[in-house]
Structure 1
Amino acid sequence: MDIKKESVEQIIQAIGGKDNIIAATHCVTRLRLALKDENKVDKSMLENIDLVKGSFSANGQFQVVIGQGLVNKVYDQFVEVAGIERATKQEIKDVAEKNLNPFQRAVKILADIFIPILPAIVTAGLLMGINNVLTGKGIFFADQAFVDVYTQWKDLADMINLIANTAFVFLPGLIGWSAVKKFGGSELLGIVLGLMLVHPALLNAWGYGEAVAKGAVPYWNLFGFNVEKIGYQGQVLPVLFSSYILAKIEQFLNKRVPDAFKLLLVAPITLLITGFLSFIVIGPVTFAIGNAITSGFVAIFDKFSVLGALIYGGFYSVLVVTGMHHTFLAVDLQLISNLGGTFLWPILALSNISQGSAALAMMLVSKDEKTKGLSLTSAISAYLGITEPAMFGVNIRYKYPFISAMIGSAIAAVVITINDVRASSIGVGGLPGFLSIFPQNWGPFFIGMGIALVVPFVLTYLYGKVKK
């Protein structure tokens, strides 16, 4: 498709002109812009341009949805017409970060740490889902699992489970790599730090409670000071804080140690100091904080299950708009580690489905051909776990589909919460999400999925017809 120069000029005019652009880059589907003043953007004019499928602001960046493949051509024309230099994603992030308040920066840091490792976690979740299907009782046979009847499949299921569990068993290693990189340290040291926290010589964190009850927790005796010799499998906070300390110590030493001695001194001293701090201070404190966070969420959903489900289910999509949803990934991982499953992630999956259903209804409601096409493609994307095109391209733009999706998601969340539906892992947050749900919870989850499919669609369709 040829890109008309006039259309690109209209985009530039709609975002406040050339003088309002600080820097620009693009991802797979969107132009990512750092603007001087986002208040100068004429969103109505922008979204009436044929090339534009939607727009939104997130993490200090103004993003214009163009579409896969097409965005490359638009960007080439954009930098030429605007007379600006090409920028990298990191340069845009650095510029945009200056516009964020401290809370937004903290959320963005979490997002930057978890997004790179998300593919590994989601892949592990899908594989664990396959294992759940093979080993779950009552799926294929009344009181037996598939592998109990067809025993030749048992070792295959066991191998799948090992492959799937690797990302969760060595989760601190993944987080250590990503976090230390984000904080400006050596990624290799981050990996070593993460793996050090789950070393086989340590008491497995999943057996800590039992060891405490039996009085069998192992200790190091450091000159009369006892330090618990425990690992932090599945834990998030210990490795996050330790990674920050490691990066800062490494930076401090790199500035002061002569180049000739850096290889001999910087990494060993950095790991030694961080290791001692991790096991003596950071680990125990953050382990307690993580358990307190878990207990807090469990208490809320135990005592006020309907209210908690209504709020989280109804407003999860709002968290996506603000970017705060990334913070709950850490909570999900903490719940999986402490409880063996999370009751929050299933709500996320239904929220994504609800946004897809609302967008799909707009295909029938709208008479605009551009909206019809975008509604269908973005609905499919949402059903497969990617909601941004549906939310920013269709639902938020017309408002009532977004609200309809929130209502459907809230109702579905209540249904699955009162039935104590949990996921064994984090998977694809859409229709394939059932694979991550414990098989014994499939019944109520499918009911919730039906609500998420039907209610937003019907509400959006009826309101759209009445409104017309």
Structure 2
Amino acid sequence: MDYKDIAKKLVPLLGGKENVVSATHCATRLRLVMSDESKIDQSEIEELDGVKGAFSSSGQYQIIFGTGTVNKVYQPFAEELEIANGENSSESNAAPDHKEAAKQNMNPLARFAKTLSNIFVPIIPAIVASGVLMGVLGLLNTYDVFTPESSIYVLLNMFSSAAFIILPILIGFSAAREFGGNQYLGAVIGGIMTHPTLMNPWGLQDASANPETMQFVGMNIELLGYQGTVIPVLLTVYVMSKLERGVRKITPSAVDLLVTPFVTVIITGFVALMAVGPIGRLLGDGITTALDAVYGFGSGFAGLIFGGTYSLIVLTGVHHSFHAIEAELLNSGANYLLPIWSMANVAQGGAGLAVFFKTKNKKTKELAIPSATSAFLGITEPVIFGVNLKYRRPFIGALIGGAMGGFYVTMFGVEANGIGLTGVPMAAIATDIMNYFIGFIIAVGGAFLATLLLGWKEDK
């Protein structure tokens, strides 16, 4: 593969280098912020050697090359665009101006979803690790390998619950970075909201436990902590970041290091415990209650609807905001949404397999198998944008398969002990592995058959 030749051909197909506002890449895709996407010749781009698909999402035009290839294409591409230090660019360390340029191309809802995604994606590994460990502990307890009183069980239980106990600190650190505040002050605010003086809300499971209240300037402050919560700390750190920038503007540089953190923490601490925190808790409880009502309404209803529509939500990019909702659900019990999302994702892989067996297009056939495999591992963009949406009806077939799989896992109460993992890896955090894989087979098989029955027209 001649990477320089691909890069040279790509620039004019994008409407010229003056049409590219900013460029970076992630593990598999070239990510571009365009001045005018109507100037892009997508059909010719998709025919370039190495290109596995192209689509517009999250304010960026994204070209799928695959792991390893994208890095080699990006370097000569950056040279064609005269981007400095192109070889060192990646989505994780993309320049702030690229991220801001991408956000400007989004509608407000997509921008909000992207903000939540930027906050939660960095902390997913911690939650996944805790979720997997919780699943292992559940199996050990079920098969009486260790008793809950044994030292090894007690220690592992400590390890598995730690991420959820300090979740507001993790979110505070990540959210402050996204909102433009000091990350360590964000962590301090999370620490205030989980301070040992405040009663851990998990203790309220005991009917006899009640949090103490304290009088302050005529108000009753409930000494209840925010361990495991999401929305209260998000709102509080947003206020903190605004306050910090406001204080810094009016503070002389000579005393900024002393005054700004001090004033920010003092005021935000009071605001957190007296106003924003309680409001955020009510909002979070309201969202959870509404979802519980939908989930509990009719056997399989939520799985049928959510499983059949999730891939449509993926197209908008709004699905990134669901991590916050799932974390809130984990705080109140278990994540029953993730198995449904997983069924929708693997169904896209099932539809991609059907395309592989029926298509006569050589390039589509070459793309279908690896992209379907990635869907089974939880990465759906290649198969959605590179295969199924290209012919439309396979995408509809995948929606049908997702609804069928979602219905099954909901009927049998399959839940997850974490967030972030779908497809085969989700088995590590599933509460019922057998029924999870039965739902997996139903989703893939349903999508496969629906796609073949629906058929599609293919250009000769």
TM-score, normalization: structure 2?
0.91
In structure 1, C-alpha distance between the alignment counterparts of 2:138 and 2:33, rounded to whole Å: 45
In structure 1, C-alpha distance between the alignment counterparts of 2:418 and 2:288, rounded to whole Å: 16
Superposed, which structure 2 residues align to 1:64-463 within 5 Å?
64-85=63-84, 86=86, 88-135=94-141, 137=142, 144-148=143-147, 154-208=150-204, 210=206, 214=208, 216-338=210-332, 340-426=333-419, 428-438=421-431, 441-463=432-454
Given that 2:388 and 2:395 are in contact with CA atoms closer than 8 Å, whether structure 1 keeps it comes out as yes
Q: Deviations over 1:253-305 (max 9, x none)?
A: 22222233223222121111101000000111111111111111111222245
Q: Deviations over 1:9-60 (max 9, x none)?
A: 3322332233321121212211111111112222222211122111111111
More divergent stretch after superposition (29-38 vs 376-385): 376-385
1:42 aligns with 2:41: yes
More divergent stretch after superposition (30-39 vs 427-436): 427-436
Q: Deviations over 1:121-177 (max 9, x none)?
A: 222222222222222x2xxxxxx43325xx99x544443332222211111111100
More divergent stretch after superposition (402-411 vs 359-368): 359-368
Q: Deviations over 1:76-113 (max 9, x none)?
A: 22233344554735322111211222222212211111
In structure 2, relative to structure 1, the CA distance for the partners of 1:54 and 1:168 (3 Å cut) is same
Percent identity reads 41
In structure 2, relative to structure 1, the CA distance for the partners of 1:253 and 1:172 (3 Å cut) is same
In structure 2, C-alpha distance between the alignment counterparts of 1:394 and 1:465, rounded to whole Å: 12
In structure 2, relative to structure 1, the CA distance for the partners of 1:389 and 1:155 (3 Å cut) is farther
1:243 is matched by which residue type in structure 2? V
In structure 1, C-alpha distance between the alignment counterparts of 2:209 and 2:437, rounded to whole Å: 43
1:407 is matched by which residue type in structure 2? I
- In structure 2, the partner of 1:3 is 3
- In structure 2, the partner of 1:140 is none
Q: Deviations over 1:207-249 (max 9, x none)?
A: 3465xx6583201221442100010111111100110111111
In structure 2, C-alpha distance between the alignment counterparts of 1:314 and 1:411, rounded to whole Å: 8
In structure 2, C-alpha distance between the alignment counterparts of 1:396 and 1:124, rounded to whole Å: 35
More divergent stretch after superposition (447-456 vs 275-284): 447-456
More divergent stretch after superposition (303-312 vs 391-400): 303-312
How far 1:463 sits from its partner (Å)?
4.6
Given that 2:132 and 2:417 are in contact with CA atoms closer than 8 Å, whether structure 1 keeps it comes out as no
Given that 1:26 and 1:75 are in contact with CA atoms closer than 8 Å, whether structure 2 keeps it comes out as yes
How far 1:358 sits from its partner (Å)?
2.0
In structure 2, C-alpha distance between the alignment counterparts of 1:276 and 1:46, rounded to whole Å: 55
Given that 1:26 and 1:89 are in contact with CA atoms closer than 8 Å, whether structure 2 keeps it comes out as no
Given that 2:4 and 2:77 are in contact with CA atoms closer than 8 Å, whether structure 1 keeps it comes out as no
In structure 2, C-alpha distance between the alignment counterparts of 1:465 and 1:321, rounded to whole Å: 21
In structure 2, relative to structure 1, the CA distance for the partners of 1:466 and 1:93 (3 Å cut) is closer
For structure 2, the 5+ residue unaligned runs are none
SS in structure 2 of the partner of residue 426 of structure 1:
coil
CA RMSD between the two structures: 2.4
In structure 2, relative to structure 1, the CA distance for the partners of 1:376 and 1:240 (3 Å cut) is same
In structure 2, relative to structure 1, the CA distance for the partners of 1:133 and 1:462 (3 Å cut) is same
In structure 2, C-alpha distance between the alignment counterparts of 1:310 and 1:258, rounded to whole Å: 59
In structure 2, C-alpha distance between the alignment counterparts of 1:166 and 1:349, rounded to whole Å: 26
Given that 1:427 and 1:436 are in contact with CA atoms closer than 8 Å, whether structure 2 keeps it comes out as no
In structure 2, C-alpha distance between the alignment counterparts of 1:304 and 1:41, rounded to whole Å: 47
In structure 1, C-alpha distance between the alignment counterparts of 2:357 and 2:132, rounded to whole Å: 33
SS in structure 2 of the partner of residue 16 of structure 1:
coil
1:14 is matched by which residue type in structure 2? L
Count the aligned residue pairs. Answer: 452
SS in structure 1 of the partner of residue 221 of structure 2:
strand
In structure 1, C-alpha distance between the alignment counterparts of 2:201 and 2:180, rounded to whole Å: 29
1:35 is matched by which residue type in structure 2? M
2:235 is matched by which residue type in structure 1? F
In structure 2, C-alpha distance between the alignment counterparts of 1:446 and 1:72, rounded to whole Å: 35
In structure 2, C-alpha distance between the alignment counterparts of 1:96 and 1:442, rounded to whole Å: 39
In structure 2, C-alpha distance between the alignment counterparts of 1:102 and 1:191, rounded to whole Å: 27
In structure 2, C-alpha distance between the alignment counterparts of 1:374 and 1:59, rounded to whole Å: 23
TM-score, normalization: structure 1?
0.90
More divergent stretch after superposition (88-97 vs 243-252): 88-97
More divergent stretch after superposition (13-22 vs 404-413): 13-22
In structure 2, C-alpha distance between the alignment counterparts of 1:27 and 1:215, rounded to whole Å: 48
1:60 aligns with 2:66: no
In structure 2, relative to structure 1, the CA distance for the partners of 1:360 and 1:163 (3 Å cut) is farther
2:166 is matched by which residue type in structure 1? F
More divergent stretch after superposition (282-291 vs 457-466): 457-466
Given that 1:55 and 1:65 are in contact with CA atoms closer than 8 Å, whether structure 2 keeps it comes out as yes
How far 1:391 sits from its partner (Å)?
1.8
In structure 2, relative to structure 1, the CA distance for the partners of 1:50 and 1:178 (3 Å cut) is same
SS in structure 2 of the partner of residue 33 of structure 1:
strand
Given that 1:332 and 1:344 are in contact with CA atoms closer than 8 Å, whether structure 2 keeps it comes out as yes
Q: What stretches of structure 1 move > 6 A for 4+ residues in a row?
A: 465-468
Given that 1:208 and 1:230 are in contact with CA atoms closer than 8 Å, whether structure 2 keeps it comes out as no
1:220 is matched by which residue type in structure 2? M
